[in-house]
A and B are shown apart, each in its own frame.
Chain A
Amino acid sequence: AQKVTQAQTEISVVEKEDVTLDCVYETRDTTYYLFWYKQPPSGELVFLIRRNSFDEQNEISGRYSWNFQKSTSSFNFTITASQVVDSAVYFCALGDMDSNYQLIWGAGTKLIIKP
């Protein structure tokens, strides 16, 4: 069965600290896709990144970086030098063939950045 686990319900850090959000997934497919979305207090869902299962290269986008490790079925998200505007709920999601690539979502991690 497909499953996404975000064990951290809530994380609180002081501005400028680095923070890592964990995501562990389960799937039987060899081809699948992993996503991170941001949901700010305004409620909309903002796409951050998609990673294909055959591409384990880590990615950096400004202060954001993602570490994909198939060996541990993890797709962790790090924010460097966090800012108050990073405060949001962050969701990790999995799309695979068994689910017709409809996304299976983690429960989300609420990130609070204190000034």
Chain B
Amino acid sequence: NAGVTQTPKFQVLKTGQSMTLQCAQDMNHEYMSWYRQDPGMGLRLIHYSVGAGITDQGEVPNGYNVSRSTTEDFPLRLLSAAPSQTSVYFCASRDRQGAIDTQYFGPGTRLTVL
């Protein structure tokens, strides 16, 4: 079990560029989420998915797109990068069965937008 994997680990973009942050999990979890972590603000939810083909917005969705074509993958797309999107991005997954249980986090992607 690889758990939750994220690529790349580090990325530098110029303003206006687009890119996709990859997230994959091999635990057959239905719920997946993307968070951004900024200094002094904790984690904020960007988008989440409760299953393949179903996505919804979180607290800070502007400037990001997601899709969930398979259970395993949940990529996050930055449409036109802005310096305000400089952050650390975490992908997480969890099992829907039973009560909410632990979320499994990926190692994070550190993104810098110049």
Contacts and interface: CB of A to CB of B under 8 A. Distances in A.
Given A52-B99, A95-B100, A102-B33, A45 B45 contact: no
A98 to B, nearest CB: 13
B37 to A, nearest CB: 9
A95 B88 CA distance: 21
B42 interface: yes
Could you say which of B42, B45, B105, B108 has the most chain A C-beta atoms within 10 Å of its C-beta?
B42
Contacts of A47: 102-103
B99 A45 contact: no
A50 B43 contact: no
Nearest to A107: B42
Contact of A33 (B33, B100, B107): B100
Interface string A86-115: 000001010100001111111110000000
The bracket for how many chain B residues form the interface is 20 to 34
A112 to B, nearest CB: 16
A8 interface: no
Contacts of B90: 45
B88 A103 contact: no
B2 to A, nearest CB: 14
Interface of A: 4, 6, 9, 33, 35, 43-45, 47, 50, 52, 91, 93, 95, 100-108
